[in-house]
């Protein structure tokens, strides 16, 4: 049976925890709004880029541009993993880490080597012990404030690795922002480029486009940009998901702390009354003994 | 009102311009392209340079872009650029601050970051030159 003082201390500490979690929840909510705005602002660029890439690549099927088709002969795949730099965001980092682990296993079974490029500290830390041999690079500090320049730097790194034949296929793994309470672990192929074919079949007019300079030259210029764009949008999605996950987790924590405080207060009051009763009994039985 | 074509200039962080214009001249990498309404369909890469927007037969505004790609068709001109800045709306002080930030990164140990910083600062310098 904890004493009254113990209970009081515990209530105090739970209360201060609740204050912290509710503050974190509010901070995450405010940041999430900003992240959503940023995601919204980047969407036109991303979708236009997608449509241009689809239009051109449909005309150059069978061409020998490696960035478009990948290098099948190289049995190595690069996975770019987006996670958070900080914890306290529920299952966010855990689900990414789990997905990466099972994907590595699957690829290994298929006889494909894996290389990992970790963006964000948490997943890198979690996978460090098992798979540190696969790490190509660990990058952190990008998730707090996603910007296009970081994505460009990352894209340059990936292209350099690709040109040195370090891998043949490249995919990103990130938490896709579905809503404030749902995030989905998503795989997306960067090399070869994912082309939306349905869009092209609909309007055959794309074949009427003239290209200046040639299709190949445009693609050589465009594909690195497209890579950066894809990485940028993955990073934005991941950041928005992280904040949403943190908001939900902190909301739950605040509610749980509230419940805990209620229970502890009840216990405290009961104990207090028991102590009073005990004292009364002692006084009465003392008086009777006289 | 004369015939117009829809001009869109988009960067990863924002839509810079989205409005109907009479004519637009873009800095294509094989030479400038003037696009009027009902222009034939063209996709072209762009160099760093000025996008001239024409209204009432004269240049109504200019946008500096740092290369990119343009998709021109009968009804619209879409420009995708990584960096773009409206010349008449640009804020000199903000740009100068940005320039300093990028210049401080130009000697970064990571070659990729340094290269990008140089790219960024050259672009801002070009914009500042235009503002005068």
Task: List the beta bridge partners of residue B6.
Answer: B20, B76
Of B33, B71, B82, the CB nearest to A52: B71
- Neighbour tally for A274: CB within 10 Å: 12
Q: Give A48's contacts in chain B (Cβ within 8 Å).
A: 8, 10, 71, 78, 80
Is A49 in CB contact (< 8 Å) with chain B?
Answer: yes
Probe site for chain A from B12, B30, B41 (most A CB atoms < 10 A):
B12
Cα–chain center distance at A50: 22
Probe site for chain B from A49, A209, A215 (most B CB atoms < 10 A):
A209
- Neighbour tally for B130: CB within 10 Å: 14
**Tokens representing residue A156 in the block:** 């340059």
The mean predicted confidence, pLDDT, of chain A is: 89
Burial of A250 (0-12, 13-18, 19+ CB in 10 A): buried
pLDDT classification of A62: cutoffs 50, 70, 90: low
Question: Is A148 a member of any domain?
Answer: yes
Looking at the predicted structure, is the pLDDT value of residue A1 above 80?
A: no
**Tokens representing residue A76 in the block:** 């190595």
Known active-site residue A89: yes
Of B33, B43, B110, the CB nearest to A55: B43
Q: How far apart are CA A26 and CA A18, in angstroms?
A: 12
The nearest CA of chain A is from the CA of B50 a distance in Å of: 18
- Catalytic residue, candidates A14, A78, A80, A89: A89
Cα–chain center distance at B72: 15
In this structure, the answer to whether residues A183 and A126 fall within a common structural domain is: yes
| Cβ contact A213–B69 (<8 Å) | no
Q: What is the pLDDT of residues A135-146, one digit of tens each?
A: 998 988 888 888
Q: What is the mean pLDDT of residues A119-123?
A: 92
Q: Describe the strand order of the beta sheet including A76-82 as a list of residue ranges.
A: A135-139, A113-119, A76-82, A169-177, A183-191
Q: What is the pLDDT of residues A211-244, one digit of tens each?
A: 888 888 888 888 999 999 999 999 999 999 999 9
Predicted local distance difference test score (pLDDT) of residue A33: 93
- Return the residue of A nearest to B9 by Cα: A45
Of A45, A149, A212, the CB nearest to B44: A212
Residue A284, φ and ψ in degrees, nearest 5: -65, -45
In this structure, the answer to whether residues A203 and A270 fall within a common structural domain is: no
In this structure, the answer to whether residues A217 and A264 fall within a common structural domain is: no
**CB distance A145 to A235 below 8 Å:** no
**CB distance B87 to B64 below 8 Å:** yes
pLDDT classification of A205: cutoffs 50, 70, 90: low
Residue A279: which CATH number?
A: 1.10.287.80
Domains of chain B: 5-86 (2.60.15.10), 92-131 (no CATH)
Residue percentage of chain A with pLDDT more than 70 = 94
Task: List the beta bridge partners of residue B33.
Answer: B26
SS (H, E, C) A91-158: CHHHHHHHHHHHHHHHHHHCCCEEEEEEECHHHHHHHHHHHHHHEEEEECCCCCCCCHHHHHHHHHHH
The nearest CA of chain A is from the CA of B90 a distance in Å of: 19
Residue A235: which CATH number?
A: 3.40.1380.10
In this structure, the answer to whether residues A170 and A116 fall within a common structural domain is: yes
Of B43, B68, B112, the CB nearest to A153: B112
Q: Give B44's contacts in chain A (Cβ within 8 Å).
A: 211-213, 218
> What dihedral angle (degrees, nearest 10) is formed by the CA atoms of B66, A233, A198, A100?
140
The single residue listed with the structure tokens 């690195």 is A224
Q: Which residues of B76-91 are buried (b: 16+ CB within 10 A; e: fewer)?
A: bbbbbbbbbbbeeebe
pLDDT classification of A82: cutoffs 50, 70, 90: very high
In this structure, the answer to whether residues A260 and A152 fall within a common structural domain is: no
Question: Is A201 a member of any domain?
Answer: yes
In this structure, the answer to whether residues A77 and A183 fall within a common structural domain is: yes
Which has the higher per-residue pLDDT, B115 or A119?
A: A119
**CB distance B27 to B51 below 8 Å:** yes
Q: Give A200's contacts in chain B (Cβ within 8 Å).
A: none
pLDDT classification of A208: cutoffs 50, 70, 90: confident
Q: What is the pLDDT of residues B120-130, one digit of tens each?
A: 888 988 888 88
- What ipTM was reported for this prediction? 0.87
Helix (H) or strand (E) holding A283: helix A215-289
Q: How far apart are CA B35 and CA B55, in angstroms?
A: 13
Q: What is the mean pLDDT of residues B38-56?
A: 92
Looking at the predicted structure, is the pLDDT value of residue A199 above 70?
A: no
pLDDT classification of A203: cutoffs 50, 70, 90: low
Which of the 8 DSSP states describes residue A207? G
Question: Is A232 a member of any domain?
Answer: yes
Q: How far apart are CA A170 and CA A148, in angstroms?
A: 20
pLDDT classification of B92: cutoffs 50, 70, 90: confident
Instruction: Count how many domains chain A has.
Output: 2
Question: Is A290 a member of any domain?
Answer: no
| Cβ contact A48–B71 (<8 Å) | yes
Which of the 8 DSSP states describes residue B28? B
Q: Give B116's contacts in chain A (Cβ within 8 Å).
A: 149, 152-153, 156
Domain of A277, in residue numbers:
4-22+249-285
The nearest CA of chain B is from the CA of A105 a distance in Å of: 32
CA nearest B87: which of B63, B67, B66? B63
Predicted local distance difference test score (pLDDT) of residue A113: 92
**CB distance A148 to B12 below 8 Å:** yes
pLDDT classification of B118: cutoffs 50, 70, 90: confident
| Cβ contact A45–B28 (<8 Å) | no
Q: How far apart are CA A263 and CA A258, in angstroms?
A: 9
In this structure, the answer to whether residues A142 and A194 fall within a common structural domain is: yes
Looking at the predicted structure, is the pLDDT value of residue A201 above 60?
A: no
Q: What is the mean pLDDT of residues A171-189?
A: 92
| Cβ contact A52–B80 (<8 Å) | yes
| Cβ contact A211–B11 (<8 Å) | no
pLDDT classification of B57: cutoffs 50, 70, 90: confident
Peptide bond into B21 cis (omega under 30): no
């Amino acid at each position: 049976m904890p004493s009254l003082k113990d209970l009081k201390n515990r209530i105090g500490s739970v209360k201060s925890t609740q204050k912290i979690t509710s503050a974190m929840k509010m901070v995450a909510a405010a940041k999430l709004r900003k992240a959503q705005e940023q995601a919204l602002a980047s969407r036109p660029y991303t979708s236009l880029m997608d449509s241009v890439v689809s239009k051109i690549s449909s005309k150059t099927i069978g061409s020998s541009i490696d960035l478009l088709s990948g290098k099948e002969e190289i049995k190595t795949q690069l996975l770019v993993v987006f996670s958070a730099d900080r914890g306290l965001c529920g299952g966010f980092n855990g689900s990414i880490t789990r997905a990466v682990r099972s994907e590595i296993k699957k690829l290994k079974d298929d006889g494909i080597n894996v290389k990992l490029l970790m963006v964000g500290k948490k997943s890198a830390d979690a996978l460090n012990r098992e798979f540190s041999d696969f790490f190509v690079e660990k990058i952190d500090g990008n998730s707090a404030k996603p910007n296009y320049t970081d994505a460009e730097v990352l894209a340059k790194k990936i292209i350099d690795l690709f040109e040195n034949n370090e891998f043949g296929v490249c995919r990103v793994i990130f938490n896709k922002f579905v809503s404030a309470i749902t995030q989905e672990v998503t795989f997306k192929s960067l090399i070869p480029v994912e082309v939306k074919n349905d869009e092209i079949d609909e309007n055959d007019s794309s074949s009427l486009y003239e290209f200046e300079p040639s299709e190949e030259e445009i693609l050589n210029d465009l594909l690195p940009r497209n890579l950066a764009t894809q990485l940028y949008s993955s990073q934005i999605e991941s950041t928005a998901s992280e904040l949403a996950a943190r908001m939900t987790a902190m909301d739950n924590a605040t509610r749980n702390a509230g419940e805990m405080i209620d229970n502890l207060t009840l216990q405290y009051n009961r104990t207090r009354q028991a102590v009073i009763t005990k004292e009364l009994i002692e006084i009465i039985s003392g008086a009777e003994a006289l | 009102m004369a015939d117009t074509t829809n001009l869109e200039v988009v960067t990863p962080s924002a839509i810079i311009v989205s409005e109907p214009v009479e004519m637009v001249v873009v800095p294509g990498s094989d030479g400038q392209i003037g696009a009027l309404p009902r222009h034939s369909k063209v996709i072209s890469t762009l160099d760093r340079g000025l996008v001239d927007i024409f209204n009432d037969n004269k240049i109504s505004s200019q946008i500096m872009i740092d290369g990119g790609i343009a998709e021109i068709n009968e009804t619209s001109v879409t420009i995708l650029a990584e960096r773009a800045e409206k010349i008449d709306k640009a804020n000199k002080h903000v740009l100068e601050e940005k320039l300093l930030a990028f210049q401080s990164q130009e000697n970064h140990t990571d070659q990729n970051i340094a290269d990008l910083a140089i790219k960024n600062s050259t672009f801002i310098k070009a914009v500042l030159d235009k503002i005068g």
